[in-house]
């Protein structure tokens, strides 16, 4: 059948099961937006306040559902405004398709109005990108983009479409997406991995975002039980292993637990599952797991031996590999003494509360968990992000959405909007710092416009918290431009946007404010006042071994103990 290129775009989205797109219109994508109007009963469009917010919303939609998020932006600045959001998705392996408009094919390369080489700009931060210069290539390119975004290690794909391609009349033949086809690829050799697992006396499992992406959470639990090992998670892996399990040792790395640092220092086999060995995990590469052999299992062969040399590796889907290992491992493996030692450290240095007594962030987040244990929590980046990872006990995958790789301040509110659109019946809370909040507060208007009951929980300490903490620890308390002197009345601001305002000024406010906001069914802004001396601990100083964390520090001072 004949239709315009723009209609082909929308029909291909419908083919791929897309029910929601996020975006912001402009001249180069007006044909696509006209087609969206025509098909509005089949695809919902969420108009954000800024293209970056749209990209983060598509990202949040994808992370919380496992389906591909879709974002649309116009040419030039509309396209470049997507770049941070695309890079955020790329670093965290999130499936996304970004569709940008461009000037007519004949105007490309002439510095035309709102022309930019967006494929050149995004080449380093996309899994693949395309520019469609021939109308007949449009449908195959869109279908290929979705296949690439979802295959192997997921990631973002960009399609740049000149305006005259969307106006062209072309033949379109509908296609049903082909299901993932089992290629009958033989399993890689597991012999070396099996030997290591059966010979180890002190195994330690470290799982990352790959456990979530592969849907391997139950298999991970069975694997840990089978080899009788403790389990730590990366920030991206939270929710993939039950925090109440006696095997769980918390996070590992710069802000990991003492129990995890003990385990990595004393294990004889370090088993890395679906994790890329970030510098924030390794801390000091040369001393990391120095007493252990490292076994790495990852879907992306490029991650193996990239950041740290490993003794053995298996490349493949984590769930598939773990299932095969479970079938081939002996029935009874026991490491009683090892587990006993790890649990003793965990008892002395609890992973689920601050090491130096109750704090406002702990009280707020633990109470929030009591009231809404299954909430989807997004975060911005900074101290509040780490507190959320430490104190909100995530029991389900895809319920903790955070920018782990790129560390994008401004990510959380957009991501919360995307998650709330995808899960209208669930509580969605964005935990923010006051520094991050001012980077994306415009998206409060989006939440209110679409009546999305997102809760914006601002940990307001009047400083750029993590920067301030580093300056306190390592820069002789020279708080250079990290103290915020905002005069904004956050309650008045919330009301101006149409959101409900709340303030937590003292511990007695916590439960009633959180309860009322959760029950309101409306967008809320909670201004939670905390002391700027509240720090994220433990903390491994940059370049120091992961087993040597700072465990306590006098608030406002520089006296540290290990």
Instruction: Answer whether residue 177 is part of any domain.
Output: no
Is residue 558 pLDDT above 90, yes or no? Answer: no
Maximum CA extent, the chain: 74
Given 317, 348, 379, which residue is the final one in a domain? Answer: 348
Q: How far is Cα 284 from Cα 254, in angstroms, rounded to an integer?
A: 10
- Span 151-162, pLDDT tens digits: 999 999 999 999
Q: Which distant-in-sequence residues (6+ apart) come within 8 Å of 546 by Cβ?
A: 252, 253, 254, 256, 261, 264, 265, 281, 282, 283, 284, 287, 288, 540
> In the numeric block, which tokens belong to residue 475?
């820069």
CA distances from 458 to 380, 413, 431, 502 (A): 10, 11, 6, 10
231 and 264 in contact (C-beta within 8 Å)? no
Question: Which of the following is catalytic: 91, 96, 127, 163?
Answer: 163
Q: What is the mean pLDDT of residues 384-413?
A: 97
| Same domain as 478, residue 441 | yes
Instruction: Answer whether residue 506 is part of any domain.
Output: yes
Q: What is the mean pLDDT of residues 97-116?
A: 94
Instruction: Answer whether residue 549 is part of any domain.
Output: no
Question: Which of the following is catalytic: 24, 51, 303, 539?
Answer: 51
Instruction: Answer whether residue 208 is part of any domain.
Output: yes
Given 321, 348, 375, which residue is the final one in a domain? Answer: 348
454 and 523 in contact (C-beta within 8 Å)? yes
Is residue 288 pLDDT above 70, yes or no? Answer: yes
Q: Are strands 169-171 and 2-4 parallel, antiparallel or unpaired?
A: antiparallel
Find, among 529, 535, 528, the residue nearest to 555 by Cα: 535
- Span 347-363, pLDDT tens digits: 999 998 887 777 999 99
250 and 351 in contact (C-beta within 8 Å)? yes
Is residue 557 pLDDT above 50, yes or no? Answer: no
- pLDDT category, 560, cuts 50, 70, 90? very low
| Same domain as 227, residue 111 | no
What is the per-residue pLDDT for 556?
A: 40
113 an active-site residue? yes
Mutual angle of helices 51-65 and 411-422, in 10-degree steps:
50
| Same domain as 367, residue 310 | no
| Same domain as 530, residue 418 | yes
Question: Which of the following is catalytic: 3, 15, 38, 114?
Answer: 114
- Portion of the chain with pLDDT greater than 90, in percent: 92
Q: How far is Cα 280 from Cα 542, in angstroms, rounded to an integer?
A: 9
What is the per-residue pLDDT for 388?
A: 98
Q: How far is Cα 545 from Cα 288, in angstroms, rounded to an integer?
A: 7
Q: What is the mean pLDDT of residues 440-463?
A: 98
Q: What is the CATH number of the domain that holds 284?
A: 3.40.50.1220
| Same domain as 526, residue 382 | yes
| Same domain as 395, residue 511 | yes
| Same domain as 330, residue 209 | yes
Question: Which of the following is catalytic: 40, 113, 290, 474?
Answer: 113
What is the per-residue pLDDT for 216?
A: 97
pLDDT, mean over the chain? 95
Instruction: Answer whether residue 548 is part of any domain.
Output: no
Q: What is the CATH number of the domain that holds 474?
A: 3.40.50.970
Count how many residues are written for the chain. 562
205 phi and psi angles, rounded to 5 deg: -100, 135
Find, among 22, 13, 37, 29, the residue nearest to 452 by Cα: 22
Per 3-state DSSP, the chain is made up of helix, strand and coil in percentages (nearest 5) of: 40, 20, 40
| Same domain as 268, residue 158 | no
| Same domain as 480, residue 370 | yes
What is the per-residue pLDDT for 183?
A: 52
| Same domain as 103, residue 14 | yes
Q: Are strands 69-73 and 20-24 parallel, antiparallel or unpaired?
A: parallel
68 and 95 in contact (C-beta within 8 Å)? yes
Question: Which of the following is catalytic: 91, 409, 466, 539?
Answer: 466
Instruction: Answer whether residue 182 is part of any domain.
Output: no
What is the per-residue pLDDT for 180?
A: 58
| Same domain as 378, residue 320 | no
Per-residue DSSP letter, 253: S
51 an active-site residue? yes
Residue 379 vs residue 554, higher pLDDT: 379
398 and 427 in contact (C-beta within 8 Å)? no
Q: What is the mean pLDDT of residues 527-540?
A: 95
**Residue for token digits 């994220």?**
536
440 and 408 in contact (C-beta within 8 Å)? no
> In the numeric block, which tokens belong to residue 356?
């130096």
Looking from the CA of 153 toward its CB, the CA atoms found within 13 Å total 22
251 and 234 in contact (C-beta within 8 Å)? yes
Given 171, 203, 233, which residue is the final one in a domain? Answer: 171
Q: What is the mean pLDDT of residues 302-306?
A: 96
Instruction: Answer whether residue 37 is part of any domain.
Output: yes
Is residue 407 pLDDT above 90, yes or no? Answer: yes
Instruction: Answer whether residue 552 is part of any domain.
Output: no
Q: How far is Cα 461 from Cα 318, in angstroms, rounded to an integer?
A: 40
Q: What is the mean pLDDT of residues 321-328?
A: 97
Find, among 207, 266, 212, 214, the residue nearest to 231 by Cα: 207
Q: What is the mean pLDDT of residues 517-533?
A: 97
Domain count, the chain: 3
Q: Which distant-in-sequence residues (6+ apart) come within 8 Å of 459 by Cβ?
A: 361, 364, 383, 384, 387, 431, 432, 433, 434, 465, 528, 530
What is the per-residue pLDDT for 266?
A: 97
Q: Is 25 helix (H, G, I), strand (E, B) or coil?
A: coil
| Same domain as 368, residue 341 | no
471 an active-site residue? no
- Portion of the chain with pLDDT greater than 70, in percent: 97
466 an active-site residue? yes
Domain that includes residue 60, residue range: 2-171
What is the per-residue pLDDT for 369?
A: 98
Q: How far is Cα 277 from Cα 558, in angstroms, rounded to an integer?
A: 30
- Span 169-202, pLDDT tens digits: 999 999 998 765 455 678 999 999 999 999 999 9
């Amino acid at each position: 059948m004949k239709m315009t290129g723009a209609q082909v775009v929308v029909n291909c989205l419908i083919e791929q099961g897309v029910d929601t797109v996020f975006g912001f219109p402009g001249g180069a994508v007006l044909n696509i937006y006209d087609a969206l109007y025509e098909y509005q009963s089949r695809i919902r469009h969420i108009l954000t306040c800024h293209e970056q917010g749209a990209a983060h919303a598509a990202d949040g939609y994808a992370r919380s559902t496992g389906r591909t998020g879709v974002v649309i932006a116009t040419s030039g600045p509309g396209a470049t405004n997507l770049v941070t959001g695309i890079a955020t998705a790329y670093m965290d392996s999130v499936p996304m398709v970004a569709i940008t408009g461009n000037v007519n094919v004949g105007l490309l390369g002439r510095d035309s109005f709102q022309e930019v080489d967006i494929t050149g700009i995004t080449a380093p931060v996309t899994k693949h990108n395309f520019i469609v210069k021939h109308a007949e290539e449009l449908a195959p390119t869109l279908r290929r983009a979705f296949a690439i975004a979802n295959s192997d290690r997921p990631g973002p794909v960009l399609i740049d479409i000149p305006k005259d391609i969307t106006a062209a009349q072309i033949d379109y033949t509908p296609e049903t997406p082909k299901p993932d086809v089992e290629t009958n690829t033989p399993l890689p050799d597991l012999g070396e991995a099996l030997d290591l697992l059966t010979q180890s006396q002190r195994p330690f499992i470290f799982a990352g975002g790959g456990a979530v992406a592969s849907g391997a959470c139950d298999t991970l639990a069975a694997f840990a039980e089978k080899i009788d090992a403790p389990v730590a998670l990366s920030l991206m892996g939270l929710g993939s292993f039950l925090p109440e399990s006696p095997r769980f040792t918390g996070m590992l790395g710069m802000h990991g637990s003492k129990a995890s640092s003990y385990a990595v220092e004393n294990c004889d086999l370090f088993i890395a599952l679906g994790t890329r060995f970030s510098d924030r995990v390794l801390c000091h590469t040369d001393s990391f797991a120095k007493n252990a052999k490292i076994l790495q299992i990852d879907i992306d062969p490029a991650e193996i031996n990239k950041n740290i040399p490993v003794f053995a590796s298996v490349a493949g889907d984590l769930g598939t590999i773990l299932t095969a290992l479970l079938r081939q491992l002996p029935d009874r493996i026991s490491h009683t003494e090892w587990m006993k030692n790890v649990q003793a450290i965990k008892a002395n240095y609890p992973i689920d509360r601050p090491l130096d007594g109750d704090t406002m962030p702990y009280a707020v987040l633990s109470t929030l968990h009591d009231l809404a244990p299954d909430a989807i929590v997004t975060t911005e980046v900074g101290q509040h992000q780490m507190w959320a990872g430490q104190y909100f006990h995530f029991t389900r995958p895809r319920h903790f959405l955070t920018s782990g790789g790129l560390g994008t301040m401004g990510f959380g509110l957009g991501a919360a909007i995307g998650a709330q659109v995808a899960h209208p019946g669930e509580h969605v809370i964005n935990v923010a710092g006051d520094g991050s909040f001012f980077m994306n507060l415009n998206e409060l208007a989006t939440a209110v416009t679409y009546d999305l009951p997102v809760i914006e929980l601002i940990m307001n300490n009047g400083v750029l918290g993590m920067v301030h903490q580093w300056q306190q620890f390592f820069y002789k308390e020279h708080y250079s431009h990290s103290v915020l002197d905002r005069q904004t009345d956050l309650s008045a601001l919330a009301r101006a946007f149409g959101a409900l305002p709340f303030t937590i000024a003292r511990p007695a406010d916590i439960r009633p404010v959180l309860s009322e906001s959760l029950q309101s069914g409306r967008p809320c802004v909670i201004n939670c006042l905390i002391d700027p001396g509240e720090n994220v601990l433990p903390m491994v100083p940059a370049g120091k071994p992961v087993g040597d964390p700072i465990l306590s520090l006098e608030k406002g001072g520089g006296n540290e103990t290990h």
